[in-house]
Amino acid sequence: MKIAEIFYSIQGEGLLAGVPSVFVRTSGCNLRCVWCDTPYTSWQPEGESQATNHIAAAVTAFGASHVVVTGGEPMLAPEIGELTEILRDAGMHITIETAGTIYVPVACDLMSISPKLANSTPWHREDGRSASQHERLRYQPDVLRHLMSQYPYQLKFVVAQPEDLAEIEAIRADVMAPAAGIILMPEGTRQDEIQKRGLWLAEICKRNGYRYSPRLHIDLWGDKRGV
């Protein structure tokens, strides 16, 4: 499978924020978010093809207990099931970070599903085909429900403006997710913009009983690869 990078860091987002974790970042994505923070896996995918046993050996060499398989869109990779089975056999806790548009059976302890809202559609880009494909694919409620029924999950939304809440509420009702399963995270790759959005987003979380997610890796290291 095509791999952009493998590195050891701390999980910066969601329920397991703060947990030391090895990240396997696959390259290739079926979406084209306008604010994608890993364009080297989507708009201009980079990386080399690596065998699953080679990837697993690189992961276990760090000696960590947690692994995060992320992307890009890791569920696109035909070998994703095989890789996660090897990692499970190695005794690792596995998080998969996905946009929730594709279902394939995998070994997974936390399905971190991040459905993409209308704020992600790249309308302003000249390549109109990317915007229309993104808009057609970004919300797949049947896939979301299936993932939620098969794995422990979190629904993590990237929020750009207060108006996004109405769309989140509609999705939540559509897939019948409890408030406890919802995590809201401010969009942004700069500490100042995350803090600015975070202040009003925290109030939304308080009002609705949703969890607020930091972006700890940005706080600590800024917007860099490999952290």
**Residues in the site for ligand SF4, rule: CB under 6 A?**
29, 31-33, 36, 38, 41-42, 71-73, 99, 116
Nearer to ligand SF4, 33 or 86 (CB): 33
* Greatest alpha-carbon span in the chain: 47
Residues in a beta bridge with 2: 49
Compute the least distance from the CB of residue 69 to ligand SF4, in Å. Answer: 13
Nearer to ligand SF4, 25 or 66 (CB): 25
State which residue, 71 or 181, has the beta carbon closest to ligand SF4: 71
Tell me how far, at minimum, the Cβ of 10 lies from ligand SF4, in Å.
Answer: 20
Nearest to 100 by CA among 31, 26, 39, 185: 31
Q: Which residues, at least 6 apart from 101, have a Cβ–Cβ distance to it below 8 Å?
A: 30, 31, 73, 75, 137, 138, 139, 140, 143
Q: Are 48 and 34 in contact (CB under 8 A)?
A: no
CB of 190 to ligand SF4, least distance (A): 16
d(CA 160, CA 168): 12
CB of 133 to ligand SF4, least distance (A): 11
Pairing of strands 2-10, 48-49: antiparallel
Q: Which is nearer to ligand SF4, 72 or 186 (CB)?
A: 72
**CB nearer ligand SF4, residue 106 or residue 113:** 113
Partners of 66 in the β-ladder:
21, 93
Beta carbon of residue 34, minimum distance to ligand SF4 (angstroms, whole number): 9
Structure-token pair, residue 83: 């890789």
